[in-house]
Chain A
Amino acid sequence: MAIVKRKFDVVIVGAGGAGMRAALQLSEAGFNVAVLSKVFPTRSHTVAAQGGIAASLGNVTEDNWHWHMYDTVKGSDYLGDQDAIEFMCRQASEVVYELEHFGMPFDRLENGKIYQRPFGGQSQNFGGAQATRSCAAADRTGHALLHTLYQRNVHANTQFFVEWMGLDLIRNEQGDVTGVTALEMETGNVVALQARAVLLATGGGGRVFQASTNAFINTGDGLGMAARSGVPLEDMEFWQFHPTGVYGAGVLISEAVRGEGGYLLNKDGERFMERYAPNAKDLASRDVVSRALTMEIKEGRGCGNNADHLLLKLNHLDADVINKRLPGIREIAIKFAQVDPIDEPIPVIPTAHYMMGGIPTNLYGQVVAPYKTGPEEVVQGLYAVGECACLSVHGANRLGTNSLLDIIVFGRAAGKQIIEDLKKNPHHKKLNEAAIDRSLTRLDRLDNQKDGENVAQVGEALRKTMQEHCGVFRFPDLLKEGVVKINEISERVEHTEIKDKSKVFNTARVEALELNNLVEVALATMVSAEARNESRGAHAREDFPKRDDDKWLKHTLYFSEGRRLDYKPVRLKPLTVESFPPKARTY
Chain B
Amino acid sequence: MRFSIYRFDPDKDEKPYMQDYDIQLDPADKMLLDVLIRIKTVDDSLSLRRSCREGVCGSDGMNINGRNGLACITPVAGLKEPVELRPLPGLPVIRDLIVDMTQFFKQYRSVTPYLVNNDPPPETERLQSPEERAELDGAYECVLCACCTTACPSFWWNPDKFVGPAGLLQAYRFLADSRDQATAERLDDLEDPYRLFRCHSIMNCVDTCPKGLNPTKAINKIKGMMVKRTV
A residues in contact (CB < 8 Å) with B: 39-40, 42-45, 47-48, 57, 96-98, 100-103, 105-114, 137, 140, 143-144, 147, 151-152, 154-155, 186, 215-217, 248-249, 251-252, 328, 331-332, 335-336, 454-457, 498-500, 502-508, 511
Contacts and interface: CB of A to CB of B under 8 A. Distances in A.
19 contacts: A40-B101, A40-B144, A43-B52, A43-B57, A44-B57, A103-B174, A105-B140, A108-B128, A152-B114, A251-B54, A252-B54, A328-B56, A336-B54, A454-B41, A457-B41, A503-B11, A505-B95, A506-B47, A508-B40
Nearest to B96: A505
Contact of A111 (B48, B73, B117, B127): B127
Interface string B79-112: 0000000000000001110100100010001000
Of the four ranges (under 10, 10 to 19, 20 to 34, 35 or more), the interface on chain B belongs to 35 or more
Q: Which of B41, B59, B140 has the most CB of A within 10 A?
A: B140
Nearest to B127: A112
B200 interface: no
Q: Which of B40, B114, B132 has the most CB of A within 10 A?
A: B114
A57 B130 CA distance: 18
Given A147-B140, A151-B113, A97 B51 contact: no
A216 B96 CA distance: 19
Interface of B: 9-12, 28, 30, 40-41, 43-45, 47-59, 73, 75, 94-96, 98, 101, 105, 109, 113-115, 117, 121, 123-130, 132-133, 136, 140-141, 143-144, 174, 177, 179-180
Contacts of B123: 97
A85 B28 CA distance: 41
Q: Which of A42, A45, A251 has the most CB of B within 10 A?
A: A42
Contacts, number: 154
Contacts of B45: 499-500, 502, 508
A163 to B, nearest CB: 9
Contact of B10 (A107, A500, A504): A504
Given A42-B57, A101-B121, A101-B126, 18 more contacts: A40-B59, A40-B144, A42-B58, A43-B57, A47-B57, A47-B143, A48-B56, A57-B124, A97-B123, A103-B114, A106-B133, A107-B130, A108-B128, A151-B115, A152-B114, A504-B94, A507-B40, A508-B45
A143 B56 CA distance: 8
Contacts of B179: 103
Contacts of A137: 140
The list of the 7 closest CB pairs from A to B, nearest first, reads: A103-B115, A112-B127, A508-B44, A151-B114, A500-B45, A456-B41, A43-B57
A502 B177 contact: no
B203 to A, nearest CB: 22
A97 B121 CA distance: 9
Q: Which of B41, B57, B177 has the most CB of A within 10 A?
A: B57
Contacts of A186: 94
B52 A215 contact: yes
Contact of A107 (B59, B126, B127, B133): B133
Contacts of A40: 59, 101, 105, 144
B44 A499 contact: yes
